[in-house]
A = this chain, B = another copy of it.
Amino acid sequence: MPIHLIGLGLGTTEYLTLGALEVAERMDELLLDTYTSWIHPDLMEYLEERFGEKLVKADRRMLEEGIEKLVERAEEKEIGILVPGDPLIATTHISIVLEARRRGIPAYLTYGVSIISASGSASGLQAYKFGRITTVPRDGVGVETCYRVVAENLEKGLHSLILLDTADGGLRIPDALKMLMRVEDEFGYGIFDRESLVICLARIGSSEELRWAGRVSDALKLDYPPPPHLIIVPGELHFAEAEALKEILGADEDLIESYRPPRYERDRVRSYILKVERVLEEIRIMVGLEKVVDVIEIVKSYLEDSKKFLENGEVFNAVAAISYAEGLLDSLRNVGYVDFEWPRT
């Protein structure tokens, strides 16, 4: 008999789909995944009433360690697993499907409303301008990875969705921000300064839903509904996105108008370019070799290339060209053919 993974949606009763209910109805056994995500008490009550004794709450142990037993039972009965959000998002669920396949048991999916797209809609930011998704775990282990992912996304001008752990009551935005601000102190890219722009979303899809955009310093003091919480760090803002943040999420006009997402690599290339330009203005040629003048001409042409690459957003080519130019200059200086000082930035 087949196994069904059934998406429950955002965790409130409104986000149950007709398909999910129809499939759940005809199952012989119905497991409710209570550990990979959040379920509103009202939804829990609804499911208990609607499915009665057929509904079994499944914890981590049952879903992860009990996969074989679970799949074995599917040889005799049709089993459904109700999964908050969209099924197969978590590795646990993929493992169940794979184990079923190995035993020749068909596995079907019923997709659900996922926080991954809903949070994009809730923010008014455009879906195709999001970079990689990242998470902050409750204990803060790996929060540097989260910071790095956001930095990488910003480098390309992209928005970052940061999911906060929902286990054990769920991580709250102020606590996650404090962790990220400690990483900021260490890395210093300017992503989570007190003045930085963040979007805070809480209990998306429930009647207590909070959608807000503003400064980190204000986000720390905000009054939040209980978790699940999440944070979005915006990248480059399109006009309509800027409007949405101001008009719908209540962000300060000045904050949005002056918003320039930090771009560490781009800024570094820009500072390299400035330095080479400065050196070329002040360089003293110590010997009268024509070859030295030729090298300086090459430096100039790589400098121009680097500027053009940067204009086109080709940061990799830009840094290659300007670093090469720096090498040319330093070599000449090291053998005593020219003299200059690298300006401090």
Check if B98 sits within 8 Å of A244, measured CB to CB: yes
Q: Closest B-chain residue to A163, C-beta based?
A: B128
Q: Which residues of A come within 8 Å of B, CB atoms?
A: 7, 9-10, 12-19, 21-22, 85-89, 91, 94-95, 97-98, 101-102, 107, 109-114, 116-118, 120-122, 124, 126-135, 152, 156, 158, 204-205, 240-241, 243-244, 247-248, 265, 268, 289, 291-292, 294-295, 298, 315-316, 319-332, 334-337
Bound CA span A86–B85, Å: 14
From B130, B265, B321, contact of A132 by CB (8 A): B130
Using Cβ atoms and an 8 Å threshold, which residues of chain B touch A114? Answer: 113-114, 117-118, 127
Check if A205 sits within 8 Å of B111, measured CB to CB: yes
Copies in the complex: 2
Q: Closest B-chain residue to A92, C-beta based?
A: B240
From B7, B89, B91, B126, contact of A113 by CB (8 A): B7
How distant is A316 from chain B, measured CB to nearest CB, in Å? 5
Check if A133 sits within 8 Å of B127, measured CB to CB: yes
Using Cβ atoms and an 8 Å threshold, which residues of chain B touch A241? Answer: 94
**Given that A98-B248, A248-B98 are contacting pairs, would A334 and B131 also be in contact in the complex, using a CB cutoff of 8 Å?**
no
Bound CA span A324–B269, Å: 13
Using Cβ atoms and an 8 Å threshold, which residues of chain B touch A335? Answer: 289, 291-292, 295, 332, 335, 337
Interface centre among A97, A240, A324, A336 (most CB of B within 10 A): A324
**Given that A98-B244, A101-B247, A316-B316 are contacting pairs, would A86 and B323 also be in contact in the complex, using a CB cutoff of 8 Å?**
no
**Given that A19-B14, A116-B127, A295-B335 are contacting pairs, would A240 and B94 also be in contact in the complex, using a CB cutoff of 8 Å?**
yes
Q: What 18 additional pairs, Cβ within 8 angstroms, besides A15-B111, A97-B244, A112-B113? A: A7-B113, A13-B18, A16-B18, A18-B18, A18-B21, A86-B113, A89-B127, A97-B248, A114-B114, A114-B117, A116-B120, A128-B133, A128-B135, A292-B335, A320-B320, A320-B323, A323-B327, A324-B326
